[in-house]
A and B are shown apart, each in its own frame.
Chain A
Amino acid sequence: QVQLQESGPRLVKPSETLSLTCTVSGGSITSSYWSWIRQPPGQGLEWIGYIDYTGSTNYNPSLKSRVTISQDTSKNQLFLKVSSVTAADTAVYYCARAEGHNDPFDYWGQGTLVTVSS
């Protein structure tokens, strides 16, 4: 059973960089596709991007200039960085797995709420 757990600062100041970690257990990040998805309070879901088993990334063009997704295969961890944050980046951030490139998101972390505020 694959399990994902997001972690990182819950409060980030405007203009700073949001940094989150997703720790994966029960499966290797050297297979499958690993996405970050966010959900502003009371709103819908927005796909941020993914990193695949080769380490290649694919980002949502709406966020591409500010987002970096990376991984540490030795620790089975994924990372998300969003730079120059504003209040609009306040959201619950999820990491999720898709087994294949066109597969759905079958495993999700519990999510972590990140608030952007001074």
Chain B
Amino acid sequence: DIVMTQSPDSLAVSLGERATINCKSSQSVLYRSNNKNYLAWYQQKPGQPPKLLIYWASTRESGVPDRFSGSGSGTDFTLTISSLQAGDVAVYYCQQSYTTPRTFGQGTKVEIK
């Protein structure tokens, strides 16, 4: 299985400040034939299902605010929230779809400082 490891487990950021979450995969999720990284980011608020934010490591899902961005390739990825809003308080997960079983990171809880 590909193990997805996120860091940190939690972080507290002031409103309007930048939040950065890292995700590392135990093996590359880059599919060389099409140069796509099969890495997605999700946001989960309490009592709700996860919501897709970013796919292919850096493509924003339709309707997702542009303060959310993804970067990275191969085994190391980052989700950045450029200016944290109150509504961004949530747990964020990375997930690989390179192979089965599909696997998720353990989650990173983002709070307001």
What is the interface of chain A, defined by CB distance below 8 A to chain B?
35, 44-47, 49, 58-62, 94, 96, 98, 102-106, 108-111
Contacts and interface: CB of A to CB of B under 8 A. Distances in A.
B49 A61 contact: no
B55 A104 contact: yes
B25 to A, nearest CB: 14
B28 interface: no
Interface residues of B, number: 25
Output the residue of B31, B49, B55 with the most chain A CB within 10 A.
Answer: B49
A60 B2 CA distance: 12
B104 A102 contact: no
Contacts of B101: 47, 49, 59-62
Contacts, number: 56
B4 to A, nearest CB: 10
Nearest to A105: B52
A45 B1 CA distance: 15
A45 B104 contact: yes
A49 B31 CA distance: 22
Contacts of A47: 100-104
Looking at chain B's contact residues, the main secondary structure is loop
A17 B43 CA distance: 31
Contacts of B95: 45, 104-105
B38 interface: yes
Contacts of B93: 44-45
Contacts of A62: 101
Nearest to A46: B104
A60 B100 CA distance: 7
Given A94-B49, A109-B49, A102 B98 contact: yes
13 contacts: A45-B95, A58-B100, A59-B101, A60-B101, A94-B49, A94-B50, A102-B97, A102-B98, A106-B61, A108-B51, A109-B49, A110-B49, A111-B49
A8 B38 CA distance: 32
